[in-house]
Structure 1
Amino acid sequence: MKLFSFMGATIFFVIINGLIDRKRIKGRQNMREILRLAAPVILEMILGMVVWIADTAMVGRLDAQALSAVGLGGQIFFSFVNVFAALGVGAAAIVARHIGAENYERGKQSAAHAFQISIVLGMVLTIFSIFIFDKFFILAKAESKVIDLGTRYLRLIAVSGLFMVPGMVTSAILRASGDTKTPMIGAIITNVINLIGDYVLIFGKWGFPRLEVDGAAIATAIGQIIGFCYVIWVLFKRDGKIKYEMAYLKTWDKKDFDQIWHLSLPAQTHELLSSGGRLIYAFMIMQLGTLSFASNQIATTAESLSFMPNSGFAVAATTMVGQYLGAGKLKEAEKNGWMSSYLAAAVMGATAIIFFFFPRQLARLFTDEMDIVDLAGKCIRIAALEQIPMGFSMVLGGALRGAGDTKGPMLTAILSTWIYRLPVTYVIVYIIKAPITALWYVTAIQYIIEAIFLVIRFKRGKWSNISIY
């Protein structure tokens, strides 16, 4: 395993260094700005990760069925949240470009129209969560107790969808304007409420009833509603380059709506393909048994450590590429895209070391059941191989979206998920019948494929010719 990991990392770096002209990213002129934008997002992700760890750990103290129900239920719900909230990708690209061109009124108008669409999508999400999403547990052939717990979890958390989609789109707009602090504060509010709510409602502390899985859903819903309401309130009340204007919220501009959808639909399709792929992947893992699914859930939670720096640098790349293109500074846009990806890769190298040498210690954060710890630890160690490729994949995907190229990441997702990962997973689970660890090698290769294709697409530079009106 160690030899495979080192060989894989070496081959990946040889390929990437051959594709990238490192002269393009020399200099530290904008590194401080990248870190300024990325740091609040990374902190926001850390806070979210702390709550997810705590949530998983507290539910994991119940039993494997409860952990599987919350794991699969949460994956179903938040997958569709991300699909609908991908509307913010198109809105962010438009707003960033208008700010770069100092066309603030158009930026406000586009932001308001994106908010209108997000409210409708939030309503659709809530309806789906109550009446449709529980069917996924049946499709996954989960145990009867897992189906019962998961269905209740989805119906209790459903109401938060009304607020989460508009809130996430609003956060994307704020970040595109260069304000990454307000979404961070919203995340602090969300996660503190969620964390306290988990403790008192799951276990019945401080005079509250012991609700177990139901308590986890209620705590998550309350935290998400209050946190995202704060973010929306700020964008209505703030004075700055971008805010929600009631005058624009009362209007319907077909040209603006068409542009938002034109840029957002590939991003939403990308998220749908990725999320759908993850759900199908989860269904196949469910066939390996509750132990494998619970171990995979813990390893996936640990893997989310990777998303924190990557998300921060991806937001920085989205904002800076979009704003520099709006200002007509193509070379600066390109430089900051590459620089953001290299900073992410450097940080992910450190994460890979932690995953490789301390996998069991990470697994022990979530459960005391040693059979789960042993299996999850093996998966986490394999995940070390995917860290640096993931950095390039996520950040260059963000850079392309900032330029308005939302089709590139979508096509990459089709290739890496639907043409490669899912068919190979099917063969491993149903034909070869290999253990869960084999699937983590498949995932590592998937990120390497994504990184190579996105590096090539960004290097070609066709994204610089995309126009936004």
Structure 2
Amino acid sequence: MAKITELFSPKDLTEGTPWKRIVEFSIPMLIGNVAQQFYNTADSIIVGKYVGDNALAAVGSASPILNLLLVLFVGISVGAGIMVSQYFGAKDRVKLSHTIGNCITLTAIASVIIMIIGPIVTKPLLTFLNTPDTIIDWCEDYLIIYFVGIAGFANYNILAGVLRGLGDSLSALLFLLISTALNVVLDIYFVASLNMGVPGVALATVIAQAISAILCIIKLVKMKSNFDVNWKMLKLEKEYYYKLIKLGLPSGLTQAIFSLAMIVVQSLTNSFGEMVIACNVIVMRVDGFAMMPNFSFGSAMTTYTGQNIGALKMDRVEKGTKDGTMIAVGVSTIITILILIFGRNLISIFTDTKELIDLSMNMMRILALGYIAMAITQSLSGVMRGAGDTVTPMWISLIVTVVLRVPVAYGIAYLTQSEAFPTGRPESTFISLLISWTIGAVITFAFFRKGKWRKKGIVSEA
């Protein structure tokens, strides 16, 4: 029993062999990220099989708007992870307690804002994006349900970030697996049994996310040995909420920039018609799984770096960075090979339409090598964020998405216009993504070597 309890307790990443600690911490996060991706994937599979390709396109077309309005939570989550990991590494109980309390309060405020703004802007944004009339009503229903029930999503993601900052990636995984299983069951019930269509998958996701959030809250309340749990810690104090926002805002802006670029590119994708929209949804779902190791190692490097900088152990940061990046690149290489071999089998899970399968596989071949470049970007960006430098990754994201990806996508589409493809070839959006990923990795490596991030630790700063 004691060993099981230890598994679900905070982990000190400032001791032990760096690569072993990173891998131990990353594996639950990787499984958790796969489960998180399965939320949307289950939605896509079920609506694609039970409702049709247009319903599949509707769920996918809603994603860029959804991501844009969730940037508030991205910012809070990143700021929380950095501060919690550094204060935990420094063994500063008072600041750790107030940081967690301010995270909870900021999350509640942000949830109310999204619940009000989200439903109001949904239809205008969908219209602005030239969403086809055949799917626009489904998109609107999906988004409104999601925004009204946003509190579950917000609290799970931010509180899971707090748990990971404390070194406990296993509890966040367990709660996510529970809610993922519930999501699949409710998806099938609402869509297959009750014939609720696209709104059914949104409702299932909202309910499942609320359960995972409640489990996170219960877990944190029980962790009194690591930080104080009381009403006083929930009071907003400038020292903490200002630092949370200062650290998290660049990451939130990064997500906003990325989402805006996705929205602009989605408008181009919509011009290609429903078949290409559905293809884009399928490729992005498979892409989501392929990216999971990169995101997992990136998040692990943030926590690892934060704790060790908090403990003033820069030598461990240097060693861990090399180890973590090498492992991430190795895993991404294997995944790239598997996608090239088994990609068609994965795509056929979403649809039985041969033309759609062929088109989606062609796009996956274009993206495949980009995952190795993203392994470098995510790992090194994770280190910089863990040290407290969230501004540099923001500028890099701005350059590769706005300055590079969007113009390249539209440029290729314009240059490939023909009688068969009046708005250009659909490959343009995926080629632009591959180019931006590759150049982003080169820029990230250059800024990492420059070393500005080494001077950003909030503990050493104090």
TM-score over 0.5 (shorter chain): yes
Matched to 2:456, the amino acid is I
TM-score of the two chains, using structure 1 as the length reference: 0.89
Matches for 1:298-317 after TM superposition, within 5 Å: 298-317=282-301
Seen in structure 2, the aligned counterparts of structure 1 residues 462 and 439 have a Cα distance that, compared at 3 Å, is same
* 1:325 equivalenced with 2:315 (yes/no): no
1-side partners of 2:268 and 2:42: how far apart? 26
Aligned to 2:136: 147
Aligned to 2:215: 230
Matches for 1:388-427 after TM superposition, within 5 Å: 388-427=372-411
Matched to 2:452, the amino acid is K
Give the Å deviation of 1:320: 1.0
1-side partners of 2:274 and 2:425: how far apart? 13
The percent identity for this pair of structures is: 25
Choose the corresponding residue for 2:199, options 196, 206, 214: 214
1:139-179 residue CA offsets vs partner (Å, 9 max, x unmatched): 11122231111111111222221232232111111111101
Matched to 1:414, the amino acid is L
Contact persistence 1:118–1:169 (CA under 8 A): yes
Contact persistence 2:74–2:255 (CA under 8 A): no
1-side partners of 2:327 and 2:225: how far apart? 30
Seen in structure 2, the aligned counterparts of structure 1 residues 429 and 139 have a Cα distance that, compared at 3 Å, is farther
Matched to 2:280, the amino acid is N
Matched to 1:398, the amino acid is G
Choose the corresponding residue for 1:129, options 108, 115, 118: 118
2-side partners of 1:133 and 1:191: how far apart? 26
Aligned to 1:377: 361
Matches for 1:7-18 after TM superposition, within 5 Å: none
Give the Å deviation of 1:52: 3.2
Contact persistence 1:274–1:417 (CA under 8 A): yes
Give the Å deviation of 1:359: 2.5
1-side partners of 2:365 and 2:200: how far apart? 32
2-side partners of 1:457 and 1:177: how far apart? 28
Give the Å deviation of 1:96: 1.1
Choose the corresponding residue for 1:56, options 25, 32, 44: 44
Contact persistence 1:90–1:264 (CA under 8 A): yes
Aligned to 2:265: 281
Matches for 1:36-435 after TM superposition, within 5 Å: 36-61=24-49, 62-204=51-193, 209-242=194-227, 244-249=229-234, 251-433=235-417, 434-435=424-425
2-side partners of 1:392 and 1:467: how far apart? 22
Give the Å deviation of 1:410: 0.3
Matched to 2:94, the amino acid is E
1-side partners of 2:211 and 2:37: how far apart? 18
Matched to 2:42, the amino acid is A
Seen in structure 2, the aligned counterparts of structure 1 residues 215 and 465 have a Cα distance that, compared at 3 Å, is same
Matched to 1:236, the amino acid is V
What secondary structure is seen at the aligned counterpart in 2 of 1:368? coil
1:254-290 residue CA offsets vs partner (Å, 9 max, x unmatched): 1222211111111111111011111221121111111
Matched to 1:429, the amino acid is A
2-side partners of 1:398 and 1:244: how far apart? 29
Seen in structure 2, the aligned counterparts of structure 1 residues 242 and 291 have a Cα distance that, compared at 3 Å, is farther
Aligned to 1:442: 432
2-side partners of 1:299 and 1:244: how far apart? 44
2-side partners of 1:242 and 1:90: how far apart? 18
Which runs of no fewer than 5 residues in structure 2 stay unpaired? 1-15, 418-423
1:68-114 residue CA offsets vs partner (Å, 9 max, x unmatched): 11111234224422443321111211111111111122111111112
Aligned to 1:20: none
Relative to structure 2, which stretch is displaced further, 69-78 or 167-176? 69-78
Aligned to 2:450: 460
Give the Å deviation of 1:218: 0.9
* 1:33 equivalenced with 2:21 (yes/no): yes
1:20-76 residue CA offsets vs partner (Å, 9 max, x unmatched): xxxxxxxx9311100111011111122233443332111112222211111112342
Matched to 1:466, the amino acid is K
2-side partners of 1:133 and 1:450: how far apart? 31
1-side partners of 2:387 and 2:330: how far apart? 24
1-side partners of 2:315 and 2:393: how far apart? 22
Seen in structure 2, the aligned counterparts of structure 1 residues 194 and 224 have a Cα distance that, compared at 3 Å, is same
2-side partners of 1:160 and 1:48: how far apart? 17
Give the Å deviation of 1:227: 1.1
1-side partners of 2:149 and 2:228: how far apart? 23
2-side partners of 1:155 and 1:46: how far apart? 25
Matched to 1:114, the amino acid is C
2-side partners of 1:463 and 1:152: how far apart? 43
2-side partners of 1:445 and 1:83: how far apart? 28
Relative to structure 2, which stretch is displaced further, 183-192 or 429-438? 429-438
Relative to structure 2, which stretch is displaced further, 46-55 or 400-409? 46-55
Give the Å deviation of 1:430: 4.1
Matched to 2:19, the amino acid is M
Give the Å deviation of 1:431: 4.9
What secondary structure is seen at the aligned counterpart in 1 of 2:226? coil
TM-score of the two chains, using structure 2 as the length reference: 0.91
Matched to 1:70, the amino acid is V
